[in-house]
Amino acid sequence: MGQIFSPTTNTLAKLSIYGAVVVPLGILFGGSAISRSPYNTNVGVTLNQPIPFSHKHHANELGIDCRYCHTSVEKTAFAGVPPTHTCMSCHSQIWTNSPILEPLRQSWRSNEPLIWNRVNKLPEFVYFNHSIHIARGISCNQCHGAIQKMQVTSKGFAFSMKWCLDCHREPEKYLYSDEAHPNMTPQDQALSLYKKIQSGVELTPREEALKEGLPYQATAAEIEKGKELVAKLKVKKEQLADCWTCHR
């Protein structure tokens, strides 16, 4: 009686046994890698904008305060996107013939707004408030990445829920007080980080990470100080991680 299975079947059988383990794992890891990659999250991906506005130039090289344009960042949930009028406060005087600013002048003449492509977007079910984060001294870069280095603005971090909860569960790892300026309010500390970067003074490792838009692991000593700060600011950690703090 001839053999039913040829010798290659042995190899196939082994392959399918290993494959049964490896292939699903590969799909899982691959899928998760894709989902966390910029392909999906758009982190670092620039978008076409009507005007290639540079935060690097305006915020870092010229040193314009964030609040000059994002006027309501300390007051309300929305940071605010500047009206054409704000841009024209300078650009009616300088670079008045620049071709890349033509859409701006067009908007000003025709009274039609500029239409920007949105870079940072939270899911609809998240109610985020800028003002309270600034009030607690959370730097813009903490969420938006190295904004002062961006020629064209792109997403700094993927806004995943876990990423938000890292801080909402353990704020002591993220809250800090600038030892060089101990009397500064958390709000001023957050917004004056850029002045510090421009001045070229030496930065702490944490500030260096913020400057580069990189994640930072707080040291044990920093966490202790963070805990003191949490107590001083009367931050209720339990409440921070309640669902209805952000979702409702």
Partner 1 sequence: MNRESKERIEEQLNGKPLWRSLDELADKPEFHQYLQDEFPLQAKAWLGKMDRRSFIRYATGTLALAGLAGGCRWRPQEKIVPYVKQPEDEVLGVPVSFATACTSRGPAIGILATSHENRPTKIEGNPGHPASLGGTDAITQASLYDLYDPDRSQYIRNLGEISSWDSCIFAIREMLLKQRENGGANVRILSGTIYSPTLHQQKQALLKMLPQAKWIQYEPVTRDMARQGAVIAFGQDVQPVYHFDKADRIVSLDSDFLMSMPGSVRYAKDFADRRRVREDMTEMNRLYSVASWPTVTSANADHHLAVKPSDVEGFALALASAVGVSAQGSLPASVPRGWFDAMVADLKANGSRSLVVPGLHQSPVVHAAAHAINQALGSQAVTYIEPIEAAPTDQMKDLAGLVEDMKGKRVEMLLILGANPVYNAPADLNFKEYLSNVLFKVHLGNYVDETAGECIWHIPETHYLENWSDAKAFDGTVSIVQPLVEPLYAGKSVHEFIAAMMGEPKLGYDIIRGYWQSQEQIGASEEKWTIALNEGLVAGTASPAKQVTANPRLQPEASGAKGMQILFLPDATIWDGRFSNNAWLQELPKPLTTLTWDNAAMIAPATAKDLKLDQNDLVNITFQGRTIKMPIWIQPGMPADTVCLHLGFGRTAAGALGNEVGFDTYALRTSQAPSYSPGVTIAKAGGIHQLVATQNHHAVSGSETMDGRDVVRSGLIDEYKKNPKFLNPPKDEEPDALFEKPKDYQEYDGYKWGMVIDTSACIGCGACVTACQSENNIPIVGKSQVQNGREMHWIRIDRYFAGGEDQPDTLFQPMTCMQCENAPCEPVCPVGATVHSHEGLNQMVYNRCIGTRYCSNNCPYKVRRFNFYKFSAGQPDLDPGNYDYPSLQLMANPDVTVRGRGVMEKCTYCVQRISAARIEAKKAGRDVKDGEIVTACQQACPAKAIAFGNIADAKSEVAKQKRQPHNYTLLDNLLTVPRTSYLAKLTNPNPEIKS
The nearer residue to partner 1, 80 or 173, going by C-beta atoms, is 80
The nearer residue to partner 1, 61 or 163, going by C-beta atoms, is 163
What are the Cα distances from residue 78, in Å, to 38, 74, 122, 160, 185? Answer: 25, 9, 12, 19, 21
Task: Compute the least distance from the CB of residue 58 to partner 1, in Å.
Answer: 16
User: Can residue 77 be called a binding residue for partner 1 (CB under 8 A)?
Assistant: yes
Q: How many residues does the chain have?
A: 248
User: Can residue 169 be called a binding residue for partner 1 (CB under 8 A)?
Assistant: no
Phi, psi of 192 (to 5 degrees): -95, 5
Q: Which of 18, 68, 95, 127 binds partner 1 (CB under 8 A)?
A: 127
As a whole number of angstroms, the distance between CA 131 and CA 203 comes to: 25
Task: Compute the least distance from the CB of residue 56 to partner 1, in Å.
Answer: 20
Closest Cα to residue 47, out of 152, 156, 159, 120?
Answer: 152
Q: Using CB under 8 A, count the residues that bind partner 1.
A: 42
User: Can residue 218 be called a binding residue for partner 1 (CB under 8 A)?
Assistant: no
Phi, psi of 99 (to 5 degrees): -65, -30
As a whole number of angstroms, the distance between CA 230 and CA 236 comes to: 8
User: Can residue 51 be called a binding residue for partner 1 (CB under 8 A)?
Assistant: no
Q: Which residues are near partner 1 by CB under 8 A? A: 31, 34, 40, 47, 72, 75-78, 80-85, 107-108, 111-118, 121, 124-125, 127, 129, 131-132, 135, 236, 238-239, 242-245, 247-248
